[in-house]
């Protein structure tokens, strides 16, 4: 399947039961909501997917389940976040075997690789597979920046096709376009910069709050890309208190609480994460409840 790398790509949460097993029926319910809203693809096993606490068997079950349910309507992309090149290559091979259509690839985990090591890592993993690859550029959280000079070297690797732009520097969208034109598709990776980066020319977004609010996220993308900026800004301003839940260390718990409140998820997380309690939960619920009380009507939602 050819991946266009445009539109909305939810970084889906992993649904668990109260007994800490995969909750595939609830996962399917959320997946159906995403498909109905018109997302362009899904990403499994990211930060929101609690990948660090998933077993290989669970990743396999999630990918195969999603591929079976989606039936080639949109691509299924698996995130790779590994500490060794060998393990990353193995994950890429498994993703292919399980039926995934593409990969999102982070820099090496736990070790801060230098320029040469980072370029070599990405090149080696990408060259080990024929799956299309989106690199994840997030120096804030992962301490390694994929610089423009690195992208220049990586441009010869044909299946490195896109970047999840999470540097928090909106100017980087313009820098990438100025230097590389259309060589790399650019997807905004920070919910609170959605409007700005789409307006600057980003091709799509890898979103978090879309897990709970798929129709609103797709509508925001559509309005910006159609040049209907006044309407888009109105929706964006309504959305912003929710979008800020995506840039907190407990984004998984916050977004899962939002999914529970919109009826397409649950609050169950896997340890060491713990579900929210007390004042913190009340504060997040206040944000969610306030947004739901003024939730816009989206055609077709």
Separation of alpha carbons 289 and 257, rounded Å:
11
- Beta pairing partners, 103: 78, 133
pLDDT digits (tens, 9 = 90+) for 125-176: 999 999 999 999 999 999 999 999 999 999 999 999 999 999 999 999 999 9
- Beta pairing partners, 206: 9
> Does residue 224 sit in helix, strand or coil?
helix
> Does residue 134 sit in helix, strand or coil?
strand
pLDDT of the residue at 299: 76
For the chain, domain boundaries: 7-293
- Chunk the chain into consecutive blocks of 10 residues (it has 301) and report each block's average pLDDT, rounded to whole numbers: 96 98 98 98 97 97 98 98 97 98 96 97 98 97 96 98 98 98 98 98 98 98 97 98 97 98 98 98 98 90 66
Give the Å distances, CA to CA, from 209 to 177, 214, 215, 241.
27, 8, 11, 11
Task: Determine the angle formed by the axes of helices 24-37 and 56-70, rounding to 10 degrees.
Answer: 40
Query: 137: closest CA among 167, 109, 112, 111?
Result: 167
Q: Are strands 204-207 and 160-165 parallel, antiparallel or unpaired?
A: unpaired
Candidate CATH numbers 3.30.70.2190, 3.20.20.70, 3.30.70.260, 3.40.50.300; the one for domain 7-293: 3.20.20.70
Q: Are strands 204-207 and 185-188 parallel, antiparallel or unpaired?
A: parallel
Question: Whole-structure pTM over 0.85, yes or no?
Answer: yes
pLDDT of the residue at 301: 66
């Amino acid at each position: 399947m050819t991946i266009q790398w445009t539109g909305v790509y939810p970084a889906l949460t992993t649904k668990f039961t109260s007994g800490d097993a995969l909750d595939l029926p609830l996962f399917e319910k959320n997946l159906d909501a995403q498909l109905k809203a018109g997302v362009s693809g899904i990403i499994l096993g990211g930060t929101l997917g609690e990948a660090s606490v998933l077993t290989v068997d669970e990743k396999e079950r999630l990918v195969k389940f999603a591929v079976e349910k989606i039936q080639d309507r949109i691509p299924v992309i698996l995130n790779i976040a590994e500490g060794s090149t060998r393990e990353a290559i193995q994950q890429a091979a498994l993703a292919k075997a399980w039926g995934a259509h593409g990969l999102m690839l982070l820099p090496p985990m736990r070790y801060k690789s230098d320029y040469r090591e980072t370029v070599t890592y990405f090149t080696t993993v990408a060259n080990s597979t024929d799956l299309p690859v989106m690199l994840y550029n997030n120096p804030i959280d992962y301490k390694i920046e994929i610089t423009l000079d690195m992208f220049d070297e990586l441009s010869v690797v044909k299946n490195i096709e896109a970047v999840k732009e999470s540097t928090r520097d909106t100017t980087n969208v313009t820098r990438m376009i100025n230097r590389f034109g259309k060589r790399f598709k650019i997807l905004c990776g920070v919910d609170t910069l959605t409007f700005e980066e789409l307006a600057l020319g980003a091709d799509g977004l890898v979103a978090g709050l879309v897990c709970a609010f798929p129709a609103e996220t797709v509508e925001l993308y559509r309005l910006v890309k159609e040049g209907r900026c006044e309407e888009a800004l109105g929706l964006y301003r309504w959305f912003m208190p929710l979008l800020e839940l995506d840039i907190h260390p407990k984004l998984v718990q916050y977004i899962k609480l939002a999914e529970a409140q919109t009826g397409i998820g649950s609050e169950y997380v896997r340890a060491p994460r713990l579900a929210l309690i007390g004042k913190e939960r009340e504060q997040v619920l206040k944000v969610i409840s306030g947004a739901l009380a003024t939730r816009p009507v989206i055609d077709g939602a």
